[in-house]
Structure 1
Amino acid sequence: MADVPLNEERAAKVLAFFNRLRLPDVAGNPPLAVACGDWFKDLLVAFLASEDPETHRDLVWELLCAVPKKNSKSTYGAALGLTALYMEEAPNRQMLLVGPSQNISERLFSQATGMIDLDEKLKDIFKVQAHLKTITRRKTGTALDVKTFDTSIVTGEIPVLTILDELHELGKKAKAAKVMQQIRGGGITKQRGKVLMITTQSDETPTGIWKTELDKARAIRDGKGGKSPIMLPVLYEFPEALQRDKSFWRDKKNWPLVLPNYGLSIDEQALEDDYDNNGKVSKEAEQIWASQHLNIEIGVGLGGSAWSGAMHWEDAVCEGLTLDSLLEQSEVCTIGVDWGGADDLAALAVLGRRKTDKAWLLWVRAWARPSVFEQRPKIAPQLRDFEADGDLKVVATGEEQASEAAAICARIWAAGKLPEASGIGLDSAGIALLFDALTALEMTDPLVQAVKQGWALQTAHQTLPLKLESKRLLHGNQPLLNWSVGNAKQELVRNNYMVTKEASGAGKIDPLMAALDAAMLMFLNPVAAGGPSVYEERGILMI
């Protein structure tokens, strides 16, 4: 952590109050004077007592602390909230202590009120309203409200202080950026608002406001945050090169470097046993374990890095692109399909070659069964957002999703946009139902072809980023596809770069994999067959 000039008198008062608070859920209820690591006390005084020695104004208005699990960040965060409430002399202000879910916000409130209940003097200082989850300083009327994150947490008044617990979870929530902007609205007033964000690393690729704030914090840490950044980054993570060095972070002697409460709230032997018995059972399990306990970013620590096309993705948008407009603009199309099991997505990508300039246009659709939401609860909120967008369809059975995918293929064939051969490319894994549905509509070999996976997709891996950079590949800015691209990690296997589901961790990349399959067929420079329509041949009226 960077050295921060302090108002020493204020810092001493902050520490004195914080140190007297006691842990409500630990035997003997030890005070934070002995139970809290010095690392958090340094963070505490920097956030609440920073001061420019010349202007006497606060220097730290925002602080992002990324620290692995079980370092008591939620408990310490609740204690910091009480300390800030005690230190605030302005009357009738609002402070927020925000959790991403009801369970976490309940725990934050329980920890804060538990500390008050253990100290008779604090009961005289603070008024607790359990039904409102509000703690008020009697002297000033300023209140600390414990809330669950949603778009209505900021109502009217701009908070003078906001503590956000588990920021990485908020990256998965719709409209989180808008709420953050509301919270930060007080930052440009004379009564400025402070923001503390404290979190573990995500167990999937960073997205949304978590990615935005993490990138900003890293840039400031690395001296690239501008001339006067207001955020103080406190990031307990290995340098990227060491995150990529599996032998380094798997070496248990190096774990204390990113675990500031090692030996306090973290039992050394218990952590090792958990890794040996649970973290090492599979590569995906190890990724998730390392992300939570060592702050290893998914896709980095096990050899993956961002797909090279991601850096050009946002600049290659064709606004308003739909399947209808793609078909209207294209002289020929190819279709790629990546089919998943009961706990996975099924995805179909349509790639069109535009008549006017031969640029490629990309559109996707995906399907999920209810079992996906049960078995992958971490990404369920995002999937519901994609369902609301219309890019993801939730269906009851595998037969239903196969039927709908086959109907899209038939529609494109009926429009005369597919070539006679190699127009529909399938990843051969798990596509029996889809193959049957296509066969029922008389779409078979040579129109339908298997597309080799793994190293055989390298042409698409390497060429699509170049097409994106030159805007020869354009997409419709579909949130589902954007998310898939953001999740994609590539790794070097022998002499070939591969985008794999394993390298991408818990994040889904099925729509992108379907696009790669479609691209492999478009590389064949196809010519549209132009008909006849399967619907006309079979006497089917298409509505």
Structure 2
Amino acid sequence: MDWTTACPDWEERIVAGKSLITSPPLFPDEAEAALDVFKSLHVVDVPGCPTFGEIGEPWVFEIVAAIFGAQNPDGVRLIREFFICVSKKNGKSTVAAGIMLTALIRNWRMANELLILAPTIEAANNAFTPAAEMVRIDPELHSADRGFLLIQDHLKTITHLKTRAALKVVAADKKTVVGKKAGFILVDETWELGKSARADAMLREATGGMVSRKEGFLINITTQSDEPPAGVFKDKLAYARKVRDGEIEDRKFLPIIYEFPAAMVKSEAYLDPANFYVTNPNIGHSVSEEWLEDELRKEMEKGPETRNVFLAKHLNVEIDTNMRTDRWSGADFWADRGIKLQLPDLLHRCEVAVVGVDGGGLDDLFGVTVVGRERETRDWLAWSHAWCHEGVLTRRKQIASRLRDFQKAGDLTIVGDELADLTEIVNVVEIVKEAGILSSVAVDPAGLGEFVDALASIGVTQEAKNLVGVSQGFGLMNAIKTAERKLVNGTFFHAGSDMMNWCVGNIRIEPTATAIRATKQNAGDAKIDPAMAMFNAVAMMALNPQVKGGSMNAYFESLGGAG
């Protein structure tokens, strides 16, 4: 049997209002049987309590048919994972309840377990209520009448009295899912799990039962995150896009993502009410176009923080580094200047380099950015790395999963109480020095006494004129302006790491009496230290520096003759 879960022409399809599922149900009879059940369920929060069959939209029926139509007559499901990302108020939670009730009713395995994982207890209540009410209103389902489904509100459980299978709604926590053997799992609001550093382990525990459940499925149903995606949500979203675009062939994974094409995001076409339908397939039904238009008008008069929440939730726009009014102007051009670049590449291509350093206490990142001037083009190249103490992961739980992402990508090193960060940072400086292209190390003079002592061990000192303190006032303002101008004219390129994308997005520009300064977007959780290290380096690179000692040949000899 041949089928595909890719949808490479999704941009044309979504603008035209066409289906994002390219292959019909693999087993039409299974799909039809499930649709008969699903369409008979009542939607209780709509006046008159109509059934899905009476008010459901084609896109919903296509999803239901794809999920249940993937099981062959032998009970083996050929498409096992589904990722559905759609704007808020498109019936997401109600549809999720209907899908899981349909799975409970159609299930053939005795004493099977079905799970809806919600990010919080409150969200679990919201997920359980529509499912329970669908049962209560239907005497053919509710055991209190003559049906076969028993509701236990205190346990948030609906049990099938004939198969003894149970649908449970639980808050997503490793303690609540340990030992579960569910064959059918639906994860509600996956974006919120991205904030938890332990979400990946919890999901692995929750989905472990699928190993022995050949008919099982995993459904992620979510809106966009109200901040740049992180953790398990970031990974799922990236994988789903690659499958959709045909970059990865995975016929067992079906992505259905209602998002604006890149060109519409770049032109901010999502702000035009005529385009609201793109990410709101239920517009005109559960979604009011007039309400969206009125709310958007109000949000445009507010600050960027609440506006971004509206854009993410109601228009499914992914929040990135250039969506705040007080952002650093260079953020608008930052993503376009990312290239594939590692430190050895920079050392090989550049005639001179400055190492910028910035770091605070144990609650901050210790950031290093090497900015080099390329020989042939005289363009500037930047490579960055950061270190943090493991205690940040517990003190700043909101960003713990994001920091783990950076660690996984190789852009962040997490150190323990031995505080190996200083040694490793000095090693970076020494590598640049041995490459024969070090002009200077540029630092924020405040709070770096221990680091200054460590640099002295490799001959980097103020007396040698290769250690420079950068004024954090007017001098840094010039660096901020220089960096953004070179990003605009395409003469400043960087390694394109997610860590630096995040740090650049966290920069807030504040006017002072005589200049401007860069600060954090939010105190505590928003980190900008590697970006500030970059500005320190730029401040010195703007002075057209020359090399102060060292040998390029010695560096390449240390690599075994590479170069």
Query: CA 1:206 to 1:189, structure 2 compared with 1: closer, same or farther past 3 Å?
Result: same
Q: Aligned partner of 1:413: which letter?
A: V
User: Within 2, Cα distance between the matches of 1:135 and 1:426?
Assistant: 65
Alpha-carbon contact 1:427-1:452 (below 8 Å) kept: no
Deviations 1:97-128 (A, max 9, x none): 01111111111012211221212221122122
Task: Quote the offset at 1:129 in angstroms.
Answer: 2.0
Separation of aligned partners in 1, 2:90 and 2:520: 28
Q: Displacement, 1:237?
A: 1.0
> Superposed, which structure 2 residues align to 1:295-444 within 5 Å?
295-299=316-320, 304=332, 307=335, 334-336=356-358, 349=367, 362-364=385-387, 381-382=398-399, 408-415=447-454, 416=456, 419=462, 423-425=468-470, 427-428=472-473
CA distance 1:424–1:102, shift in 2 (3 Å): farther
1:289 counterpart residue number: 310
Indicate how the Cα distance of structure 1 residues 484 and 128 shifts in structure 2: closer, same or farther if over 3 A, else same. Answer: farther
Q: Does 1:263 align with 2:284?
A: yes
1:147: which partner in 2?
A: 170
**Number of the residue aligned with 1:121:** 140
Judged with a 3 Å threshold, the aligned counterparts in structure 2 of structure 1 residues 487 and 234 are, in CA distance, closer, same or farther, namely: farther
Q: Distance in 2 between matches of 1:168 and 1:221?
A: 19
Are 2:476 and 1:450 aligned?
yes
Partner residue, 2:49: 29
Letter in 1 for 2:112: R
Question: What is the match of residue 87 of structure 1?
Answer: 106
Query: Which among 69, 77, 89 is matched to residue 58 of structure 1?
Result: 77
Asked whether the 8 Å contact 1:484–1:509 carries over to 2, the reply is no
SS of residue matched to 2:155: coil
AA in 2 matched with 1:135: I
Question: What is the CA-CA distance between 1:232 and the residue it aligns to?
Answer: 0.9
**Can you give the 5+ residue segments of structure 1 that lack an aligned partner in the other structure?**
318-331, 340-344, 354-358, 374-378, 392-404, 430-448, 470-480, 492-499, 529-543
Q: CA deviation at 1:486?
A: 4.4
Q: Is the 8 A contact 1:337 1:518 kept in 2?
A: no
Q: CA contact under 8 A between 2:193 and 2:232: conserved in structure 1? A: yes
SS at match of 1:209: helix
**Equivalent position SS for 1:141:** coil
Provide the rounded CA distance (Å) in 2 between the counterparts of 1:243 and 1:360. Answer: 28
SS of 2:251's equivalent in the other structure is: coil
- Aligned residue in 2 for 1:232: 254
- Judged with a 3 Å threshold, the aligned counterparts in structure 2 of structure 1 residues 264 and 8 are, in CA distance, closer, same or farther, namely same
Q: Deviation string for 1:273-322 (max 9, x for gaps)?
A: 00011245345544432222222222288595774687758x779xxxxx
Q: Which digits, 9 at most, give the CA deviation of each residue in 1:231-253, with x for residues without a partner?
A: 1111111211221122x222211
Change (3 A) 1:64 1:362: closer
SS at match of 2:140: helix
What is the rounded CA distance, in whole Å, between the counterparts of 1:453 and 1:184 in structure 2?
50
Q: In the alignment, residue 279 of structure 2 is paired with which amino acid?
A: V
Q: Work out whether residues 22 and 29 of structure 1, in 8 Å CA contact, stay in contact via their aligned partners in 2.
A: yes
Cα 1:386–1:301 shift into 2, 3 Å = closer
Q: 1:424 to 1:75 in 2, by over 3 A?
A: farther
Which amino acid in 2 is paired with 1:273?
D
Q: Which residue type is aligned with residue 534 of structure 2? A: L
**CA deviations over 1:44-89 (Å, ceiling 9, x no partner):** 1211122569x98533211111101111101211121111111111
Output aligned runs, 1:2-41, within 5 Å. Answer: 2=21, 3-41=23-61
Per-residue displacement from partner, 1:344-378 (whole Å, max 9, x unpaired)?
x976635699xxxxx98844569x99xxx9xxxxx
Please name the residue that 2:87 is paired with: 68
State the TM-score, normalized to the length of structure 1: 0.68
- Counterpart of 2:68? 48
- Letter of the 1:382 counterpart: I
Distance 2:275 2:519 in 1: 28
Q: Contact conserved, 1:348 with 1:511, CA < 8 A, in 2?
A: yes
The alpha-carbon distance between structure 1 residues 242 and 19, as it changes in their structure 2 partners (threshold 3 A), is same
Q: Which residue of 1 aligns with 2:193?
A: 170
SS in 1 for 2:182: coil
Q: What is the aligned partner in structure 2 of residue 510 from structure 1?
A: 528
Give the deviation of 1:193 after TM superposition. Answer: 2.8
Worse-matched range after superposition: 211-220 or 417-426: 417-426
**Distance in 1 of aligned mates of 2:333 and 2:78:** 35
Q: Alignment identity in percent? A: 25
Matches within 5 A, 1:215-226: 215-226=238-249
In structure 1, the partner of 2:510 is: none
Q: Tell me, in whole angstroms, the C-alpha distance in 1 between the residues paired with 2:384 and 2:322.
A: 34
- Range that drifts further, 420-429 or 128-137: 420-429
How far the C-alpha of 1:190 sits from its partner, in A, is: 5.7
What SS class does the counterpart of residue 63 from structure 1 fall into?
strand
**8 Å CA contact 2:113, 2:183 repeated in 1:** yes
Q: Which residue of 2 aligns with 1:327?
A: none
Asked if structure 1 preserves the Cα contact closer than 8 Å seen for 2:321 and 2:504, the reply is: no
Moved more, 267-276 or 111-120: 111-120
Distance of aligned partners of 1:156 and 1:513 in 2 relative to their CA distance in 1, 3 Å threshold: same
Which residue, out of 258, 267, 272, partners 1:251? 272
Say which SS state the counterpart of residue 262 (structure 1) adopts. coil
User: Displacement of 1:169 after TM fit?
Assistant: 1.1
How far 1:195 sits from its partner (Å)? 0.5
Contact 2:97 2:131 in 1 (8 A): yes
Whether contact under 8 Å (1:14, 1:83) holds in the other structure is: yes
- CA change 1:253–1:46 in 2 (3 A) is same
C-alpha change, 1:312 and 1:135, in structure 2 (3 Å) is: farther
Tell me which amino acid in the other structure corresponds to 2:293: E
- Report the residue type matching 1:36 in the other structure: G
What does residue range 103-114 of structure 1 map to in structure 2 within 5 Å? 103-114=122-133
CA distance, structure 1, for counterparts of residue 525 and residue 46 of structure 2? 36
Aligned partners of 2:196 and 2:401 also within 8 Å: no
| Counterpart position of 2:297 | 276
2:226 equivalent in structure 1: 203
Distance in 2 between residues matched to 1:154 and 1:305, nearest whole Å? 44
* Alignment partners' CA distance in 2, 1:333 and 1:413: 13
Tell me the distance in 2 between the aligned counterparts of 1:297 and 1:288.
10
TM score, norm. by length of structure 2: 0.66
Shift of 1:191: 2.6
Partner of 2:374 in structure 1? none
Kept after mapping to 2: 8 A contact 1:91/1:141: yes
Structure 2 Cα separation of the partners of residues 338 and 296 of structure 1: 34
